[in-house]
Amino acid sequence: MHDHSHDILHSPGGGALHPLLARLEAEFGWPRLHSLHDVAEFTARPGLHCLFVPGDPARNLETVDAAVILPELRMAFQNAFDCAVVDDAIEATVRETHRALKTPGFLFFRDASYLGSIEKIRDWDDYIARTSHILSLPG
């Protein structure tokens, strides 16, 4: 019999992650980036990347919406970009570095070059238009 008690993902503060945030790691296999070194390593890989900066789901109700939207957005773009979740320990630094100050946020990169971000919850058509524009930018 498998003990699933260790399968629950925890935040650095010790509390369990919101189930929709935990799903991104457990079901989709997206890495959680715990350090700026992790961010640099992830975004430096060849191709397109999206960093999900969730914010605090207890204070920002849009966070869980974004956790559902990003996998759908990735599918809409035929998995053209890979995704990772920015850990709350480095979230503020990542947001300030890229001047994407509002959460939740999707920060896009190509081969280590920052392309742009989509902050806060949007209409689906707005996500499609903004993502198309960002992904078309030279890296």
- Comparing CA positions, the residue from 121, 80, 74, 82 lying closest to residue 102 is 121
Count of structural domains, the chain:
1
Residue 55, domain extent: 17-136
**Confidence grade of residue 139 (pLDDT, cut at 50, 70, 90):** confident
Task: Give the pLDDT band of residue 67 (cuts 50, 70, 90).
Answer: very high
Q: What is the CATH number of the domain that holds 113?
A: 3.40.30.10
Angle between helices 62-76 and 124-136 (to 10 degrees): 60
Tell me if 115 is assigned to some domain. Answer: yes
- Indicate if the pLDDT at residue 10 is higher than 90: no
Among 4-8, 43-47, 114-118, 130-134, name the one with the lowest average pLDDT.
4-8
Q: Is residue 103 part of a domain?
A: yes
pLDDT tens figures, 24-47? 999 999 999 999 999 999 999 999
